[in-house]
Structure 1
Amino acid sequence: MFFLINTDNSTDISHIQCICLKDVDKTSYLVHCPFETEITFLNQVLNEINDINHTVSSIVVTNLKKSNDTNVTFWEAITTAATEELEELTIRHCSEDIRLAILNDTPVHSLKSVLQLKIENCRLGRIPSLFLQGLSGLSYLSLKDNNIEKLLKDDFKGLDKLTTLDISENIINNVKDNSLSTLPQLETLYVGNHNNITESFKHEISRLPSLKQISLAKADEVYNLDDFKFSEGSKLERADLSGCGLTELKKDDLKHLESLEYLDLSVNLIEKIDSNSFSPTKNLQYLSLAGNFLNETNLNTDSWTGLDSLINLDLGYNEFTGFENSFKHLGNLKTLNLRSNSRLFRLESNAFDGLKSLEDLNLTACSIKHIDDKAFDGMENIKTLDLSFNKLYQLETPFKVIGSGLNNLNLSSNRLTFINASTFSDLHNLTILDISQNPFVCNYKVLELQKWINEEYIRATKDSRPFYLAKPEQVACEEPAHLKGRELMEITIDMINNVPETTFTPPSTTESDELTTMGFDLSKWSAHIGEGNDTLFKEESDADKPTYDINSIKYGQRQTKTQTQTTWVTISSVAFLVLVTIIGVIYVVRRKKTNLVSEHSISQGISSSL
C-alpha cells in the first residue's frame, strides 16, 4: 500500500515531491522524495504521518534545499515525533545551504535509532564529524562523491558500531594516524575511484582489526601490494584491486591473507607472477587477472601453487598464445574464462592438462583457427564450452575426448562452411547446440548434419532430456546463391538440385563461326491489356521510323549486315572535321610568324634611337 503526498490537489504527477510507502509492519512509512524538495515540505510530510499516529523508518531525499519563506532549520525539519524510530536516512545532491547545515549546525537531538546514513554528491569537502556525533548506533555510512580531501583523527569518533564505510569517489590524499584504525567493528571499506592511497592510507587500512572486505577499484597510487602489510591473522576475505596500476605479483604480496576467498586484480598492468605468490591463499575461491599482460612465458608450474580451493579463474583479455603446463595445481577449478585472448590461434594437444574438474570453459572472441583432436583431453567433467566468435573454418573430432558430459556447446560466429555430423556423435547429453552465424555451404553434405540434428531431437525425447538448436533462423546457407539466407533445417535435396536457369544464356557459335546475339522475348514479360504495348508506347513522331532489329547487327562488328547511307554520312563528317583542323593549324602558325616579325622591327627601332 502507498499514497502520494502532493503540493496541491491536482492529478499531475509532475508536481509530486514525495512518495510514502507503508512498511511491512503496517506501523511505519518509507518516505521517498525523488525530485527537488524544500525542507519545509519534508517537515510537513513527516508531521502529517505523525498526525495519523504512524512513524517513519526510512527517508530518501534528492535535491534537498532550504525554503526562502521560513526559518526552519535542517535538523528541525527531519527531527519530528515521527522520526524518533528512524533507521535509514539518505540525502543526495543537496543545495549549498543544506551542505553548510550538515557541516556546521549542531544537531537538535541525537538520532540514536539511525542505522544507515548516506550523504552523497553534496560537495561536503570534509567529513561531517559534528553531524556524526549524535549517531552512535550507526552501522552503515556512505560519504562517497563529496570532494573530501582529508581524514582526521576524530572524524569517526564514537562510531564504535560502524561495520560498513564508503568513502569512494573522493579526492582523499591526506590520512592521519588513527583516523580509520580506531573503528573496531569495521568489516567493509570502499575507498576506490580516484582516492590517492598514500603510505599512511595503506597503513591505516592494514591496521583495521575486523576488516573482511575492501574495494580499492580505480584507486590512485596502488602500484604494489607489499605496502599494505596486513598483520598475521588478518580476517580479510574479499579484495577488489581492479583498475589500479599493479605491474607484478611478488611472492610475499599476499602474506598473512589466509582467509582471502575473493581477489580481483583485473585491468592492471601485471606482466609477471612470481612462483608461490598464491601460497598463503589456501582458501581463495575466485581470482580475476583479466585485462593484464600475461602469457604462457611469464607463468610457470609453480605460479598457481597454493590455489587448492580455487573454483573460478578469469584470464580473459590477456596475451596467451598457448597453455602448455599453464594450469598445474588447479585440480579443483570448475570455471575458466579465457575470452578475448586475441593472440590465441591454436589449441594444441593437452592444452588444458590438469583441469580434471573443469565444468565451464569460455574461449569466446579469441582468434582460434585450429583445434587439435586431443586439445580437450582429460576434461571429462566439462559441461559448457564456448568457442563462439573465433576463426574456425573446419572441425575434425575435438569433442571425442570430452566424453558425454558436455551439455552446452557454442560454435556460433565462426567461419565454418561445413560440419561433419560425426563431430557431435559422442556428445550424448547435449542440451544446447549453437552453430548460428556461420557461412554454411548447403550441398549434399549438409543434409547429413540436418539428419543428425533431427535424430538428436528424437533421442533427447526418448531420454527425457531437453535439447534444442539455438537460433535456428540464423543457422542459414551462405552458398550456393539460390539458397543464400535459407534456414539449414529447411533445405531439401530437391532445393539443392533445382538450380534455376540463368535468364541470359551465353552466345552460341554457328557452323560458320559467326557469332550472333541471342534474342530476348519480351512477350513473356509484357502485359497485354487493351491495346498492345507497341501501340501504347509508340509516339506519333516515330510512326514512320523503321523498326530497329537488334539481330541485324553482326557480333563484334559496328556495321549492320546491309550497307546504308549512314556510312557515307559518317565518312563525310570525318573528312570535314579533318579539313577544318588543318586550316586552323595553318592559321595559328602564320599568326605566330607575323608576331615575331613585328617584335624584331620594334627592337631595331629602339636600338637606332639609342
Structure 2
Amino acid sequence: MAALLSLLQIACSLHANLPQSCPQSCLCYDSSNLVECRGLELLVVPHHLPHSTWMLDLRHNNLSRLDPASFQALWSLRILLLSDNYIEVVSSRCFRSLGFLERLDISSNLLISLPLDFSRGLGSLRELRVPSNRLTSLNYESLRHLESLEKLDLSRNYLSTIEQGAFRGLSRLRHLHLQSNFLDSVRGGYFFMLQNLELLDLSDNNISSIAVESFTSLHSLRLLALSENQLSHLKFKTFLNLQTPSTHIQVSGNPWVCDCDLQRVFGKINSVRHLHIDDYDNLTCEGPSQLSGAALVSVDNQLCVAETATVLVITITVLVTVIAAIVMAERNRKKNQDKNWNDTDGPFETQDK
C-alpha cells in the first residue's frame, strides 16, 4: 500500500508540472487546486479536470449518475462535494483512484442503494455524508474498506434493514447518524467493534425493541439518542452493558407504558454513576389510559406504591377468602360431628326404654 501511494504521489507531481486549464464554466482557485462547478446545471462531471485538484465542488447541478471515469486520475483530491443533485446511480469502481480523499458529501440525492464496492479505493476517507437520499438497506460489503472513517451520516433515508456487521470494519468511527429512518429494532451485532464510537443517533425511527447486547462493545459512547421512537419498555441490562466513563441518553417522545417495571428500570439507570437520562423530566406516559399524557416524573413515585397497594388488596382478599373457607369448613365439620353423635345416641335410648 505504501509503495502504491508513493507511485501516486510521483504521478501527481508529474501531472502538476504539466500545463492545465480550468474546465469551461467552472472557477479555479489557488493554481487550480480548488475547482468550483457549483450551480451550473451540469449533466455530467466535467472532463479534463486539473490533476492537482484538491477540492471539487459539484453541488446544485443536474448530475444523475457517477461513471467509472468521472473522477479518473484525480489523485490529489481531498474533498468532493456532490450534494443537491439527482444522482441515482454510483457505478462500480467509481472512486477507485481517490486514494487520498478525506471528505465525500453525496447528501440530498436519489440514491436507492450503495454498490457493493462503493468503499473500494476510499481507504483515507474520514467523513462520509449520505443523508436525504432513498437508501432502504445497508450491505456489509458497501462500507468494509472505510478503515479511516470517523464520521458517517446516513440520516433521513428509508433504511429499514441493516445487514449484520455492516459497520464491522469502521474501527475508527466516532460519529454515526442513523436518525430519521425506518428501523424497527436494534439487533445485537449492529455496532460490533465500534469501540471508538462517541455519538450514536437513532432518534426518529420506529424502534420498539433493543437487544440486550446491542451496545456492549461501545466503550467510548458519550451520547445515545433514542428519542422519537416506539419504545414502551426498556431492559436495565441493555444499558448496564454500556461500560463507558460517561454516557448521556435521550429517550423522550416514546409511547411509554408507565408502570412499576418502567419506574424501576429508570430508577436503576439513574443510580448508575456513568449513565445520565438527559430528558427524564420530559417523558410522558402513553399508557395505561388513566395516565395518558401525564409526565412520568410526576407519577413515578406512585407507580410502585399503586402496584404494591393492588398486590396488598389482592393478598388480603385472598387471605380473607381462605380464612372464611377454613371457618366454614370447620363449622360444617362440627355440624356433621354433632349430627353423627345424635344418630349414634338414638338406638341406646330405645333399648333403655
TM-score, with structure 2 as normaliser: 0.74
**Pick aligned residue for 1:357 from 172, 178, 192:** 172
Match in the other structure for 1:291: 108
Within 5 A, what are the aligned runs for 1:212-251? 212-220=33-41, 222-225=42-45, 227-232=46-51, 234=52, 236-251=53-68
1:321 aligns with 2:136: yes
Is contact 2:56–2:81 with CA below 8 Å preserved after alignment? yes
The structure number with the bigger radius of gyration is 1
Report 1:137-536 matches (<5 A).
Answer: 202-203=23-24, 205=26, 210-220=31-41, 222-225=42-45, 227-232=46-51, 234=52, 236-296=53-113, 299-301=115-117, 303-324=118-139, 325-342=141-158, 344-429=159-244, 430-456=246-272, 459-460=273-274, 468-490=276-298, 491-492=300-301, 493-495=304-306
Deviation, 1:412, is 0.1
Q: CA deviation at 1:294?
A: 2.1
DSSP-derived class of the 2:56 partner: strand
Aligned length: 285
Query: Does the CA contact (< 8 Å) of 1:284 and 1:310 recur in 2?
Result: yes
Instruction: Evaluate the alpha carbon distance shift between residue 313 and residue 322 of structure 1 in structure 2; reply closer, same or farther with a 3 A threshold.
Output: same
DSSP-derived class of the 1:409 partner: strand
C-alpha separation in 2, matches of 1:262 and 1:413: 34
In 2, are the aligned partners of 1:275 and 1:305 still within 8 Å (CA)? no
Normalised by the length of structure 1, the TM-score is: 0.44
Query: Percent identity at matched positions?
Result: 27
8 Å Cα contact 2:95-2:120 kept in structure 1: yes
Deviations 1:113-171 (A, max 9, x none): xxxxxxxxxxxxxxxxxxxxxxxxxxxxxxxxxxxxxxxxxxxxxxxxxxxxxxxxxxx
Alignment correspondent of 1:78: none
CA contact 1:472–1:487 (8 Å) conserved in 2: no
After superposition, the C-alpha distances for 1:389-440 in whole angstroms (9 at most, x for unaligned) are 0111122225244332211100001111111111111112242100011110
Post-superposition CA distance 1:585-610 (Å, at most 9, x none): xxxxxxxxxxxxxxxxxxxxxxxxxx
Separation in 2 of the partners of 1:337 and 1:376?
A: 15
* Mapped partners of 1:207, 1:319: distance in 2: 32
Over 3 Å counting, the alpha-carbon distance change for 1:267 and 1:424 in structure 2 is same
Is this contact kept in 1: 2:27–2:35, CA < 8 A?
no
User: Any idea what SS the aligned residue of 2:210 has?
Assistant: coil
Aligned match of 2:13: none
Structure 1, unpaired ranges of 5+: 1-199, 461-466, 500-610
Deviation at 1:317, TM superposition (A): 1.7
How big is the shift at 1:257?
Answer: 2.1
The residue aligned with 1:506 is none
Q: Distance in 1 between matches of 2:256 and 2:296?
A: 8
Unmatched 5+ stretches in structure 2: 1-20, 311-353
Give 1:425's aligned amino acid.
L
* Aligned Cα root-mean-square deviation (Å): 2.4
CA distance in 2, matches of 1:206, 1:266: 18
**Higher helix content, 1 or 2:** 2
Opposite residue 484 of structure 1, the aligned amino acid is S
Alignment deviations for residues 356-410 of structure 1 (CA, whole Å, 9 cap, x no partner): 2211110000011122212222222211100000111122225244332211100
